[in-house]
Amino acid sequence: MPKSLLQSFLAACALFVSVSVMAQTVTDVPLSDADVKIKSAAQNAAQNAVQSAASEAAKKIPTAEEIAAERARLERMRAALAAERAALEQYKADLVKRQQEAAAAAAKAKAEAETKAAAEKAAAEKAVGSAGSVPPPAKDDPVSIRNMSPEELQRQRQLAIERAKAIEKAVAAQRAADAKKKAAAEKAAASTVQTTTPKDKDVATMKLRKITQNKVRYVHLRDVAVNYGLTFAYTKNANKISGAVIYDKTRKAIFSTSYRDGMVNGVQVYFLYPMLIKNNEPYISEVDFLTCLDPLLRYKTPVKLGMKTIMVDAGHGGSDPGAMNGTHKEKVYTLQIAKRLQTQLEKLGFRVIMTRTGDTYPTLQERAALCKKYKPDLFISIHCNSSTNKTPAGIETYRAVPVGGTETKGSKVKTEKQSGNEFDANNSRLAFEIQKGMIAATGGTDRGIRHQAIYVIGNASCPAVLVEVGYLSNAAEVKKIASPDYQNKIVSGILAGLAGYGSFLR
Ligand SMILES: [Zn+2]
């Protein structure tokens, strides 16, 4: 029947289409050779069915038996194809499962390899200790390590240990070489320091702007700083310069426009004049610059002087008790300290001349005459301070007033030169060193380096200072002054000062 033939034809077409669709769906997953055979067999069968059905329809009109046979054949084919389809679905499911298993196995293997590699690395690092950070060779990438056989891994590990040992050895050798080099450099630097003290500039060659104000000559402080290689800085008060500092790593001088006292290298220093501001620029008096600041900033004295014989002057004595506080008498303590100083100086090899050794009173003129007679290299006068006010305490060191300057406690300008003024610069440095030494040794209050018209130091024939070791009028300080411990500290402070002054001498 044409109708049933047509139906068969359409059924065959539908079957072909469904097989094609099925084949396309299956190609979503990779196919094995067997899969491909099955697929092509199904396609061939479908094509054959379509072609034979079409040719039969074209040739002749089939009989009822032929139609029935054809229908049965198509039914068998349909069943076969359905079976194939089920098999392919199963295969597809199996394939996905196999792929998942393979991926899981690969991940597991990778993790195991990484764990093993990490363990190997840790073992190698442990074996070489501090050299554990040795970088692996380029070929030791994770992939190649993963692929290595246990024997190869062991061999690589051994190589890594040897490499690390070699690097460790090289590092140790380099460290030793560096240490040797550093020691040699330090030795060279030390010897350089010993032989080359920084050079002082000759004051006469310095270019300094100068002005005169109220008959006093001043030098430009910035120019001073430049000539000593120092940095200049200032402070302002109400928009006016009120203070200035010049400094480098080892030296520092502080000045004020309001007060004469400043600080030089950590010690309080009374200048002869306060800092002057002219046209918004700071100046210091020329006499302060020459007799005080320059000697404290320079490394070596420009005046050749010795330091072998030292005259020690115990203040007061005999009929002159000096300051008193109850039973405490200045003349007693000045002699005790002078004798302690004598003992220590003689131990150090100095020749010591005492202006008095007992409770006697050589006059001030007699003391000055002794200085001129024996020509010591230094003159040190020892005194104790006193005040009607019981509060003041601390240590002061005096030097002669330079010509053109005034006393710290006065305003009258000194015009006549004394023998002691030959040594103005050295007086300043000696006073500075001894004051610094006593403050360091006793921990006492620094009342500064001062100037006063004191007969014995003004009329000395060598650098001379007068030390006030403390206030008898202060209840706490008088007890200290009376004690051997404090007296010894004062003596050791003076000795330290003499050592500092000695290094300043050429
Ligand atoms: Zn005195």
Q: What is the DSSP string of 248-283?
A: -SS-EEEEESS-SEEEETTEEEE-SS--EEETTEEE
Q: Who wins on pLDDT, 414 or 96?
A: 414
CA 130/CA 27 separation, integer angstroms = 58
Q: Who wins on pLDDT, 84 or 126?
A: 84
Same domain, residue pair 255 and 324: no
In a domain, 469, yes or no: yes
Same domain, residue pair 450 and 494: yes
Q: 9: domain range?
A: 2-119
Q: Which residues surround ligand 1, an ion (CB under 5 A)?
A: 315, 322, 383
Tell how far the Cα of 326 is from the centroid of ligand 1, in angstroms.
16
CA 472/CA 149 separation, integer angstroms = 94
In a domain, 303, yes or no: no
In a domain, 460, yes or no: yes
Q: Do 288 and 261 touch, CB atoms closer than 8 A? A: no
Tell how far the Cα of 434 is from the centroid of ligand 1, in angstroms.
18
In a domain, 213, yes or no: yes
Tell how far the Cα of 403 is from the centroid of ligand 1, in angstroms.
24
pLDDT, average across residues 72-87 = 82
Last residue of a domain, one of 194, 229, 245: 194
Q: How high is the pLDDT of residue 124?
A: 62
Last residue of a domain, one of 231, 255, 287: 287
Same domain, residue pair 178 and 216: no
Q: Who wins on pLDDT, 202 or 365?
A: 365
Tell how far the Cα of 296 is from the centroid of ligand 1, in angstroms.
27
CA 54/CA 209 separation, integer angstroms = 127
In a domain, 250, yes or no: yes
Tell how far the Cα of 374 is from the centroid of ligand 1, in angstroms.
23
In a domain, 128, yes or no: no
Q: How high is the pLDDT of residue 398?
A: 98
Measured CA distances, 169 to 130, 179, 271, 314, 355 (Å): 11, 15, 64, 69, 71
CA 384/CA 321 separation, integer angstroms = 11
Strand segments, DSSP code E, in 111-239 are: 210-213, 216-220, 231-237
Band (pLDDT 50/70/90 cuts) for residue 95 is: confident
Q: CB-hemisphere CA count at 13 Å for 168?
A: 14
Count CB-CB contacts under 10 A for residue 316.
22
Work out how many domains the chain is built from and give that number: 4
The CA-CA-CA angle for residues 470, 420, 276, to 5°, reads 75
Same domain, residue pair 21 and 67: yes
Q: How high is the pLDDT of residue 140?
A: 46
Same domain, residue pair 114 and 34: yes
Band (pLDDT 50/70/90 cuts) for residue 125 is: low
Same domain, residue pair 23 and 157: no
Whether the pTM exceeds 0.85: the reply is no
404 Cβ partners below 8 Å, 6+ apart?
A: 216, 272, 285, 287, 413, 414, 415
Same domain, residue pair 233 and 100: no
- Taking only the tens place, the pLDDT of each residue in 1-49 is 444 555 555 555 454 444 444 444 434 445 556 555 656 666 676 677 6
Does 133 score more than 60 pLDDT? Answer: no
Band (pLDDT 50/70/90 cuts) for residue 305 is: confident
* Backbone angle region of 241, left / alpha / beta, with phi > 0 → left and psi within -120 to 50 → alpha: beta
Among 211, 222, 230, 234, CA closest to 286: 211
Tell how far the Cα of 382 is from the centroid of ligand 1, in angstroms.
8
Same domain, residue pair 64 and 142: no
Same domain, residue pair 318 and 213: no
Same domain, residue pair 63 and 82: yes
CA 457/CA 421 separation, integer angstroms = 9
Band (pLDDT 50/70/90 cuts) for residue 73 is: confident
CATH number (domain holding residue 217): 3.30.457.10
Which range has the worst mean pLDDT, 45-49, 110-114, 382-386, 418-422? 45-49
In a domain, 293, yes or no: no
Dig out the tokens for 119 from the structure: 């363990």
Q: Who wins on pLDDT, 24 or 362?
A: 362
Which range has the worst mean pLDDT, 43-57, 296-310, 444-458? 43-57
Tell how far the Cα of 497 is from the centroid of ligand 1, in angstroms.
21
- Taking only the tens place, the pLDDT of each residue in 475-487 is 999 999 999 999 9
Same domain, residue pair 69 and 145: no
CATH number (domain holding residue 376): 3.40.630.40
Last residue of a domain, one of 155, 174, 194: 194
CA 22/CA 46 separation, integer angstroms = 12
The owner of tokens 């115990």 is 314
In a domain, 463, yes or no: yes
Give me the amino acid identity at 194: Q
Tell how far the Cα of 315 is from the centroid of ligand 1, in angstroms.
6
% of the chain residues with pLDDT over 90: 56
Which range has the worst mean pLDDT, 156-160, 256-260, 333-337, 462-466? 156-160
DSSP bridge partners of 379:
311, 464
Q: Do 257 and 242 touch, CB atoms closer than 8 A? A: yes
Same domain, residue pair 389 and 352: yes
CA 329 to chain centre: 53
Band (pLDDT 50/70/90 cuts) for residue 468 is: very high
Q: How high is the pLDDT of residue 89?
A: 83
